[in-house]
Every structure is written in structure tokens, then in C-alpha cells.
Structure 1
């Protein structure tokens, strides 16, 4: 089957060598120069509450609460090792951009996703074909990157919560990645990710991480799926908003 134009552009020349496992881990361990202080360790209860609180009954998406949910997801990713290193680092950078917008002179427009979209579209801050020259990434573009990564984690956690005891987390994570994030990554990053996923903790270890501070481990699957539902509600609302404004493919 011939490669698509996008894949042809992304695939390296035949003479290039694929990354080793060590190179893959190194690529995925990139972190921003100014990591954020995320406070206490991961708690799935805080994760579920944050995403549940980020979607109001009227369908508004509250950015501060959404970012609080992401901070918990970063703690979870950091506990998994090299496989999530690159995403964790990129996510910290995206959170910092959105928080800076909230603290800036136009902060009132960055309280909800809907108000941010209206404001940036009206000001011509959203580059539909390319990034506006001399400007930092728009809030809409930055949020979209978090939105895509959220789908990966939603799919992975859903697979984990519905899987049999002998299921392989590495395979589940890789499948979720291929569906949600791989189309937006370069060929090298995709190959590095495939290698790094092999170092994922076991299913038992993952449930121990997810149950830490949350009560009995036997309640893990139910609590996990409750959390996935909260994440999915926010993801779906975001997807609808971006689709309505033709912003799902921002560069």
C-alpha cells in the first residue's frame, strides 16, 4: 500500500537507522526548562473531581478546573516511567501557556473554553493555515494539543478498566496511542514511543498506582471507569465545540 503524502514526508530516508530503545527513552524523557510544582502525589479521586467540575450543567468548560485535572494526569504519567516522559513534559508547557493567558490582561476571556474561542477568533489570534508570525501559540491551539493527548489517556484508562487480569498494558497503551496521538507525531517519535511502551508497569502495578490514597484496591476498576466517564464528557464537549468552529486541525 503506498504511503500517504503525510507519511511520506514523515518517514526518514532508507539509509536512516531506527532509534534504539535507549534513544526512544531519551526522546520521550524530554522535559521543559521550567517544570511546575504539582504538589502532592497522584490521587484518582482528585482527577475525577477535577474533570467532573470542569464541565458545568450548561455545557461550559472551565479552563482552571480542566487544567487541575491535567495536573493530576501528569502525576500519573510521571509514575509510569519513560513511556510518558515526552507527553508529560509537553503537557507542562501547554498548561503554563494557558495559565499565563489567565493571568494576563485579557484573563477574563480565558475562564471558559467557549469564551476563549470567541475572544481569539474575534481578535484574529487563531491561525488556521499557519501560526501567526511573531506571536506565541494561541490558547485555542494550545488547548487542542491537550485535547488530543486527553483522548489517548481516556482510551488507555478505559481499556485498562475493562481488561482481563492477563491483559498487557503495553499493548493497550500502544493501541490507544495509535488511535489518538500517532497521526500527529513524526515518524521518529512514533517509533520511539513504540519502544518505550515496552517498559510500561504491569497491570497489577498500574492498579496499585491508581488506588493509592483512594481506598481499597478492589474498588479500582469501578473508580477508574467513573473517572474515564468524567474525562469523556469533557472531551466530547470540547470536540463538539472545536468541530463547530472548524478548529480540529489547527497547525
Structure 2
């Protein structure tokens, strides 16, 4: 009787994580034939997903090269439609993008910031199909930011600081909630990217300082629990925990990061992490100063 009484609950506890895992693999195997700027929110097409958010007409803006120009140099938002996979992941390009996003005066240039994120997406894509869902969710948020940048008020989305000031003045942040028929604010969207950036920063830092027998799956899980897990529902936490088990070995990760070898890879990784950390810390201060770290 005891075995029968406990058989059902035990079987459920066994099958539920497996079901979540296979569900994740299913969604990861899907190929959404959308441009990377196509708007997705919560895994679904945005209600306003036209050429531009409601009340805004698309404004074509010519992109410029990565630079550290002053914010008043005008918007340099990259137009929607540029492919994410134009090149393979290169850690040097990642480092240049985040370094260029920080001006001498401490402004964070959004176009350069998003360019750095596109390199991180290439890195995540190289980790296998289990990270496909995470990658697409990140792409959707970048698409939302680029729609803001190319819209009627695009010049206000040149830097993190100018975006925050504009959306606060217009009451666009949505401290409590946001109607489903309105585009997510730039502040709320950037906050999601900001949290995910901390996760990847912690993971890559653990990798750069790890022993040769270190397990990337454990490093990634620890970074996730610290940076992102508090903001995710139970089923998401279970799914990503299982996805981490599919991570490549430490040696394979270093080959992805730097084909020239682990020693050079560690130096490049630490350099990139220095730039990412600076950008993260300044963005954190901006959000904290306006009580926006817990936006819904």
C-alpha cells in the first residue's frame, strides 16, 4: 500500500521536469521566420507589431560605426532588418561594442550597447539548441528597443540616460503595469536586458577564473540563480536548469571564445568583462536612482 500511495506523486515529480525539458527543446527547435526586429513579447507577436508603435511613424535613421561620440551627435540607431548572424561570434567585437557604448562623460550609447548584445546572442546560439528560446526572447527585446530608436522620438533613445529622462517626463515607464495594446517602454525592456547581462557577466567571469576541471553547467547555474532566477517563474527556472546541463565542456567553450587558445582567450575574456562590468554598473546606478530596478 505504501508503495502504491507514493507511486503517483513520485512519478509526477519525475515526469514534470522531463516534460518541461522536452517542451523547452520543442520550442527551441522552432524557427520563426521573422526579421530580428520583429516584435515579440512574452513569446507572442506584439499587438502593435506594425512598422512602428502606435502613434509613431517610422523614421529612417542611418547607422554609424561604433564610436564614442557625444550623445548630441544625433541618433545612430541601426535600421531594423540587419541579420544577427552576419558574422560568427567574436569576443574582440563584443569587447569593442561595450567599450564604445561608454562615453567619457559616463553616458551609455544605446546603439553600441545593443551591438554588444547582438554579439552575446551569437555566443548563446553557439551553445546549442537549448538556448534558442533565450536567444529569441533577447532578440525580441532588442527589436523593441530598435523600434523606439527608429520611431518619431528616436533622438530621445540615443543614450540610456536620455531615454530614462524622456520616458519619465512623458509617463511612459509603467511603474505598475502597461496596457497590452501599448508597446513596452524602453526602460522596462532595457531592464530585462540589464538583468540578463548580469547573468552572462557572472557566468563568463566564473569561466575565466575556473579550474581546468570546472563544469560550465554548474557555473552557469550559479550565475543564473544569483542574477535571474528571482525574476522567473518556477517552470522557467526548472527549464533553464535542465538546459544548462547541455552546455559544452570548458575546453569547447574556450574554443568558441578564442580559437587561438585558452591563455589568449582568458586575457580577451577578462578585457571584455571589464567593459561589460562598467556598462552594467552605470546602468544599474541610473535605474536605482529612479527606483526602477523592480519594474514589472
- TM normalised by structure 2 equals 0.76
Alignment partner, residue 280 of structure 2: 235
| SS of structure 2 residue aligned to 1:58 | coil
Aligned pairs for 1:196-207 (under 5 A) are 196-207=243-254
Alignment partner, residue 88 of structure 2: 41
Moved more, 59-68 or 180-189: 180-189
1:101 aligns with 2:148: yes
Shift of residue 81 of structure 1? Answer: 1.0
Alpha-carbon contact 1:30-1:89 (below 8 Å) kept: no
Alignment partner, residue 264 of structure 2: 219
More helix by share: 1
Over 3 Å counting, the alpha-carbon distance change for 1:81 and 1:127 in structure 2 is same
Shift of residue 185 of structure 1? Answer: 1.1
The structure whose Rg is larger is: 2
Alignment partner, residue 43 of structure 2: none
Q: Output the CA distance in 2 between the equivalents of 1:220 and 1:30.
A: 32
Between 1 and 2, higher relative CO (CA 8 Å, sep ≥ 6) is seen in 1
Alignment partner, residue 150 of structure 1: 197
Alpha-carbon contact 1:168-1:202 (below 8 Å) kept: yes
Alignment partner, residue 76 of structure 1: 123
Alpha-carbon contact 2:97-2:112 (below 8 Å) kept: yes
Q: What is the root-mean-square deviation in Å for CA atoms of aligned residues?
A: 1.8
Alignment partner, residue 234 of structure 2: 187
Which runs of 5 or more structure 2 residues have no equivalent in the other structure? 1-11, 37-82
Q: Which whole-Å deviations, capped at 9, do the CAs of 1:48-98 have from their partners, x for residues lacking one?
A: 010011111111000000000000000000000134222211110011111
**How many residues are paired up?**
236
Q: Output the CA distance in 1 between the equivalents of 2:30 and 2:266.
A: 31
